[in-house]
Amino acid sequence: MTTKARSIWKAYGYAWVTLGFFLISLAGHWLFGWFAYVSEQQAHAQPILMSDYLVEMMRDTLENWQSEFLQLLWQVGGLAILLYVGSPQSKEGDDRMEAKIDEILRRVDPQNAERIIRTLDEDYSGRHTDARHVHS
């Protein structure tokens, strides 16, 4: 059982560190928010009410969550999803690389290059692109 626990820590190390940073920053946000709330209430001679503090901090936390975390999450997560499903943007680099490799093959083995490229196109027909057939 110890081996399994270690492997979970190692396998998800980045996630654990990220979770730790998130929890520490969230706790710090709420702690220093409390100090600021108390100071502001005292400066205006207003009562210090936990319910008012909770509403204010939830609002501030959700604003931060929306403006920072969700934006970053979408940029990273959305890009990963689009790359995974094969959006046109993700294929641009692949097409360019295939065209370069095809050109190298044509220069290294001019007599057999087109046959080899055609065979590869047939073997990987789902990945066929027009970029491979551009001659310089």
Question: For residue 87, what is the DSSP state?
Answer: -
CA atoms within 13 A on the CB side of 6: 3
What residue type is assigned to position 92 of the chain? Answer: E
What is the predicted pLDDT for the residue at 89? 59
What is the predicted pLDDT for the residue at 132? 46
Residue matched to tokens 């057999």: 112
Angstrom distance (rounded) from CA 36 to CA 28: 12
Angstrom distance (rounded) from CA 136 to CA 81: 34
| Low-confidence winner among 36-45, 97-106, 118-127 (lowest mean pLDDT) | 118-127
pTM above 0.75, yes or no: no
Domain ranges of the chain: 2-85, 90-133
What is the predicted pLDDT for the residue at 118? 92
Angstrom distance (rounded) from CA 91 to CA 25: 38
Angstrom distance (rounded) from CA 109 to CA 97: 18
Q: pLDDT digits over 69-121, tens only? A: 778 888 888 788 877 776 665 566 677 888 889 999 899 999 998 999 999 88
